[in-house]
Structure 1
Amino acid sequence: MILERRHSEVTILKEIAELLNEGTEISQILSEVLKKLLHVTGLQTGWIFLIDEKGNYQLSAKENLPPALSVNYCERMCKGDCWCIDRYNDGRLDKATNIIECKRIEDILEQKLGETNELTHHASVPLRAGSEKFGVLNVGSPNKRIFSTDELALLESIAFQIGTALKRIKLTHQEQENALTAERNRLARDLHDSVNQLLFSLSLTARGGMEMTADEEVRETFSYIQDLAQNALSEMRALIWQLSPRGLENGLVSALNSYGQMLGLKVNSDVKGIICLPCKVAETLWRIGQEALANCKKHSQQSEVSIEVVTAKNLVTMTISDNGCGFYYDEQNELPSLGLKSMKDRTELHNGSFILKSTPGVGTVIQVSIPI
């Protein structure tokens, strides 16, 4: 009997390990693993919370949730207090626990908010790999109040597999980002050493040709060529900056000031609060600032722009404004350009907010706020 149970557990772990090794899309993998786990263990309901370093959680996978927990796109699972998450965050949940009553379900029963399918309790297991933690696995069934020691041990083994897979995926993403950064830097160097130098040489040659001839038409042609080369050189320098931002290591505002000056803009900057940003947030604000400054140079018909960066509590806000020609914009409509949409998308990837205000003849203001 013991051998049969052990063989069954090994089979379960093998099947789940195979699922975990198949992909790198976290939500899809967790959903498939949860479904397999419930199928092979005979449990009915499960869900997985991924939790970041600050204790913020998100519902990343779910299976067969009761109606009261599924209503409004699982709204009750995505906000509010939770005992299992509280225990996870304060360090009390360090192994498979037998058993945690569900606060969300208790609130539903107490307030008679819907059907719970007789689910009242669940087992909670932390997802970890070594000392690194990723979230919580919760499983349960109607009227099931006790998990055996063997059941908890199996759940803990599965949770460890999931945690290890999450760490592998995290490292894979980091490697991809590092490779992308290295490729950007290589491309920036190549452009600087080849195309940038050729454009500079073309500009000098055109200037020399203009000075060597007395023919007015030829001089105008050389002047036109020189202007084109200078414009292309400015565009190339801006592109190189976008690929490999120089000076970001000295701070976001310093880098944006330098980029604005390179574009020929007068940048008035103001910093409030201590600016010590996570690398990802700093790079996101840098990319958004680049696009905003480039737009100001191309469209505002002004050479002066203001940048304000404010940090307060757990939020950084960057505001870039000009007193240029502005344009008509209704907040109810879609953003009018791909560049502005890109800024908004970058902001929302960090759960931030993006605000655009523009008035013809008055100017344009772009404000980005990102949690830190």
Structure 2
Amino acid sequence: MAEYDPHIQELITLKTIAETLNESNELTPMLDAVIGKLLELTGLTTGWMFLVEEQRTHEFVASRNLPPALSRENNEPMRCGSCWCLERYDDGRLKNAVNILNCKRLDNAVRYQWGDTEGITHHATVPIRSGNRRFGVLNVAAPGKLHFSKEELELLESVAYQIGTAMERMRLYASEQRRADLFARLGEYSSALGAYASQAVNRSELTEQVMSLMGRYFDWPVAALLELAGNEMKLRSLYTGGQTTLPHAQFTIAEMSSARPGIGRHKLDSIRNEDAQRLAEQLVEEGWIPPIKQVIAVPLARAGDFTYELLMVGYDTYGSSNHGDSEVIEVLAEQIGMSFQRIRLEENRRELARMDERNRLARDLHDSVSQTLFSLGMMSKGVGGMLDMQSHGQNSMLQDTLHDIQSLSQSALKEMREMIMQLRPPGLEEGLVTGLKQYGERLKLMVRSHISGIQELPRIVEETLWRIGQEALNNVSKHAATKDVLLILIIQDDHVELRIEDHGRGITKQRLNELTRHSIGLSSMRERAESIGGQFRLYSVYREGTIVEVMIPLEARSSDKEGDY
């Protein structure tokens, strides 16, 4: 291998390799050049290199002088399948430079007659690393060379370490460049998001803008907003293929190892890689996103409520630079979460203003119009009685007119009372379940009820459940073709659940999809629940019945007593 003092030759080789590595800042040209220089200095004829980003995955990145059997069809034998050296690398057995007695790729070339191997049967394999970080393997060979000496392997190890150090330097440089670029884009994104958030009127509109802006300012092929509750995952918004969608799709998921113990739901402060990968695989299986090779998921910033949401970013290639995106994605998730919290607070403020206005209107209607209608009815009844006594049956036309006035005033008074009840439901004074039960009975429904837990509910929560319950009972009365309804209220320390079930005609899957997109009633129920951090679900099976389910968190609202408003 050397014609003079091997130590001098080794120093010359290492010096020349170091100079070659410093001549380029692009990975592939650098690796190709260094393999060529190594072969020139050592007298070997052939070399090739694999990079390994993830276990069981590898990329053929550089080579020099491959024999025809291995270079056929654009190096196809080197690009497909694994081999013994890569298997040893993956399972951790390849720690130092070794002699490979038989090469699987060369054996296959002979077995399947791929072409001339030019006398190469064996090669040395060297792991490429820098410190604890591993990058891949370097292979070198020569015709007829069956064994590499200890000194040769040590020199190859030194060269491989130089290559690994140069690759680490290039990786860090590229990572810092990408980090700087991403933070610059993050600044532009934040400005645009702030402008949209100040104008958005509801959560759905803001969610769509969040993802559209992400596609505009970042180069991630897949991004998704997920909401986790219990063993269910809801796909809130999705950016893929250059388009933003709001699927509102739900899936059942297994308990996540990232979750800390909670009351029947996930509580995430961070999410592990395996959990993020599992969620991504489920989205792929459901057909919502294309296959991805890497994924980063970060919980959104929260303000004490029980909505646990994730920002997930997917990559279609492996790359160490992808891991450097985590810091930017974390900042992004915090900004998005705070934007959602801000619009939620604004929706709460508007809801409180609407409640105050309804209460004022109810008082005014009760004090003025309803009293006037009541007086009108009494006066017409009294005048009718007087005319009857005086005329003894005469002036029947006038009496009929007075009777009509009395009927109309009674009808108007009844409708006015119904309006006042809608504006400020008196049934709530006896409790939510009692109020809804009485409301259902006025709709000629047979309402059975079940209550679990005792706790005073904040007024905004109680009125939200009341409005949703009214709409659900109205739907049963109009569409379910059944009079039997089950009303369930479950109150726990941190959340309240309202469930309204019927075993009526149900809804077909096609019709349910149409209603989910276009029904004002369903949209109203969902928006009411989500405006105070809750969740709305509708389950229906044709000819088996329908379930309306609402869950609203109480943790952040335990101090919202009646007098606070």
CA shift, 1:30, in A, is 3.8
SS of equivalent to 1:155:
helix
Distance in structure 2 (CA, Å) of the matches to 1:106 and 1:260: 44
CA shift, 1:104, in A, is 5.6
Within 5 A, what are the aligned runs for 1:76-95?
78-81=250-253, 87=258, 94-95=269-270
Task: Give the TM-score of the pair, scaled to structure 2.
Answer: 0.47
Q: Which of 469, 483, 487 is residue 285 of structure 1 equivalent to?
A: 469
Distance in structure 1 (CA, Å) of the matches to 2:259 and 2:206: 22
Task: Give the TM-score of the pair, scaled to structure 1.
Answer: 0.67
SS of equivalent to 2:316:
coil
Q: RCO (CA 8 Å, sep 6+): is it higher in 1 or 2?
A: 1
SS of equivalent to 1:94:
coil
CA shift, 1:317, in A, is 3.0
**Residues 292 and 208 from structure 1, CA distance in 2 versus in 1: closer, same or farther, beyond 3 angstroms?**
farther
CA shift, 1:250, in A, is 2.4
Whether the aligned pair in 2 keeps the contact of 1:122 and 1:139 (CA below 8 Å) is yes
Whether the aligned pair in 2 keeps the contact of 1:316 and 1:369 (CA below 8 Å) is yes
Give the structure 2 partner of residue 43 of structure 1: 220
What is the one-letter code of the residue matched to 2:234? Q
Within 5 A, what are the aligned runs for 1:1-150?
8=181, 10-21=183-194, 22-23=196-197, 24=200, 25-37=202-214, 40-52=217-229, 54=230, 56-64=232-240, 78-81=250-253, 87=258, 94-95=269-270, 102-103=277-278, 119-131=292-304, 134-147=308-321
Distance in structure 1 (CA, Å) of the matches to 2:352 and 2:467: 13
Give the structure 2 partner of residue 300 of structure 1: none
CA shift, 1:131, in A, is 4.7
**Residues 100 and 310 from structure 1, CA distance in 2 versus in 1: closer, same or farther, beyond 3 angstroms?**
closer
Give the structure 2 partner of residue 167 of structure 1: 341
**Residues 96 and 194 from structure 1, CA distance in 2 versus in 1: closer, same or farther, beyond 3 angstroms?**
same
Measured against aligned partners, the alpha-carbon deviations of 1:247-292 in whole angstroms (never above 9, x if no partner) come to 214223422465578x6x9987543453779633343113444687
Give the structure 1 partner of residue 350 of structure 2: 176
**Residues 101 and 254 from structure 1, CA distance in 2 versus in 1: closer, same or farther, beyond 3 angstroms?**
closer
**Residues 201 and 259 from structure 1, CA distance in 2 versus in 1: closer, same or farther, beyond 3 angstroms?**
farther
What is the one-letter code of the residue matched to 1:317? I
Give the structure 1 partner of residue 329 of structure 2: 155
Whether the aligned pair in 2 keeps the contact of 1:247 and 1:254 (CA below 8 Å) is yes
Whether the aligned pair in 1 keeps the contact of 2:271 and 2:298 (CA below 8 Å) is yes
Distance in structure 1 (CA, Å) of the matches to 2:322 and 2:235: 26
Give the structure 2 partner of residue 193 of structure 1: 367
Give the structure 2 partner of residue 203 of structure 1: 377
Whether the aligned pair in 2 keeps the contact of 1:47 and 1:61 (CA below 8 Å) is yes
What is the one-letter code of the residue matched to 1:43? W
Give the structure 2 partner of residue 317 of structure 1: 500
Distance in structure 1 (CA, Å) of the matches to 2:407 and 2:179: 78
SS of equivalent to 2:537:
coil
Whether the aligned pair in 2 keeps the contact of 1:100 and 1:122 (CA below 8 Å) is no
Q: Structure 2 stretches of 5 or more lacking a match?
A: 1-172, 492-496, 512-518, 528-535, 552-565
Q: What is the aligned-residue identity percentage? A: 23
- Between stretches 280-289 and 172-181, larger displacement belongs to 280-289
Rg larger in structure: 2
Give the structure 1 partner of residue 49 of structure 2: none
Is 1:274–2:452 an aligned residue pair? yes
Q: How many pairs does the alignment contain?
A: 332
Distance in structure 2 (CA, Å) of the matches to 1:149 and 1:114: 24
Is 1:351–2:549 an aligned residue pair? no
